[in-house]
Amino acid sequence: MKKTILIPVLTFLILLTALILHGNRIPSYVSREEPALGTFVAIKIEKTQGYEALLDKAFENIRQLEKVFSAHTPDSELARLNNLKKAEVSFHLLELIKKSTVVSEITGGAFDITVLPLIELYKQAELSGNPPVEKEIRECLARTGWHKIEIKGTTVKIPCGLDMGGIAKGYIVDKTAEFLKEHGVKNGLVNAGGDIYCFGRPPRGEKWRIGIQSPSRKDVLITDLYVSGFAVATSGDYERYLLIKGKKFGHIIDPVTGKTVQNSPAGITVTAVDASTADALATAFYVMGVEKSIKTADRLNGVEVFIIDGAGKTHQSRNFSNFALP
Ligand code: ADP
Ligand code: MG
């Protein structure tokens, strides 16, 4: 072979080998989805050694944490606290009650885990078929209010039962991502029914792509977000409501009026540095409405919001578009 041909051929072969070797280094991924937390939890991670056992343990941890926060199973740790009204609590329960009060503070009380008496009032109303009357709502409001939660060391005293349904899923997503990272996983995504935390990179591209569905048509994507090392939570009022005398009542309570939020946005997507914050803000933003939510997002680091209002119009916070590019 002539020297003039040999050099390009050799160069080509070297490049090809380099490409194949590099290709092998791009990790392959594995996904697992299981029912948990009243929804489906999906975990996608790169295939590391022992990933099967790691995923087993991750889902086991999720079920353990579910037992801490569920307000609806009588044997959860939260149910015990709700019963006793004053108790020494575990690390996780303490951490999340504290975090909840931080979100209450930054949302001017729109997020408030003491709404449980009101949630129960509306649930009873659904059973009896009669919407709650003003007097019943006022009686509940006299007991609720996140300011009335007292924390001393690891002892918590509460004025009424707590409902952590607006933040617990996000927290469990965070703890799952932390667990995976601690065990050497560099790239992954945890999704608990729309509460997502992702880190590292996906199989293709640098950032994870998260689509926002149309609230009225699940097969239609309104926009995409590209994120890594971030949480995204999406809440849709359309998914859960109570039916009282044929009228729909949302599942989110305005802690000031004590009533379920009416005429709320159709869909809210929030980004934050962690999933518990994103989850709780998504709930709070239902109560706050479009303008206040955007103002709040604009003033908080890492928090952006995308809202689809009742008429289908979209609204977004100042830097939301930073997430629009891969
Ligand atoms: P979903 O997963 O259905 O979107 P969210 O994360 O929006 O749920 O949380 C809704 C839940 O939060 C309700 O089912 C209730 O348990 C609780 N909740 C309702 N209103 C409030 C509120 N103002 N502050 C905190 N939690 C609330
Ligand atoms: Mg939420």
With tokens 């072979």, the residue in question is 1
Q: Is the pLDDT of residue 313 over 90?
A: yes
* AA letter at 303: V
Structure tokens at 9: 């051929």
Q: Is the pLDDT of residue 259 over 70?
A: yes
Nearest to 44 by CA among 34, 260, 241, 126: 34
Among 195, 283, 287, 292, say which to mutate for ligand 1: greatest number of ligand atoms within 8 Å of CB.
283
**CA dist., res. 149 & res. 219, Å (int):** 43
Nearest to 236 by CA among 216, 206, 256, 254: 216
What is the per-residue pLDDT for 299?
97
pLDDT band (50, 70, 90) for residue 239: low
What is the per-residue pLDDT for 323?
94
What is the per-residue pLDDT for 265?
86
Point out the ligand nearest to the CA of residue 278.
2
251 CA to middle of ligand 1, Å?
A: 7
Q: Are 305 and 320 in contact (CB under 8 A)?
A: yes
Task: Show the ligand 1 pocket: residues with CB < 6 angstroms.
Answer: 111-113, 115, 119, 163, 165-166, 235, 239-240, 251-253, 255, 279, 282-283, 287
Other Cβ atoms less than 10 A from the Cβ of 221: the count is 11
Q: Is the pLDDT of residue 90 over 70?
A: yes
Q: Are 212 and 225 in contact (CB under 8 A)?
A: yes
252 CA to middle of ligand 1, Å?
A: 5
Of the given ranges (10-19, 214-223, 273-282), which has the lowest mean pLDDT? 10-19
Average pLDDT value for residue range 146-166: 97
Number of Cα atoms under 13 Å in the Cβ half of residue 226: 11
What is the per-residue pLDDT for 113?
98
What is the per-residue pLDDT for 20?
52
pLDDT per residue as tens digits for the range 158-184? 999 999 999 999 999 999 999 999 999
Among 100, 105, 252, say which to mutate for ligand 1: greatest number of ligand atoms within 8 Å of CB.
252
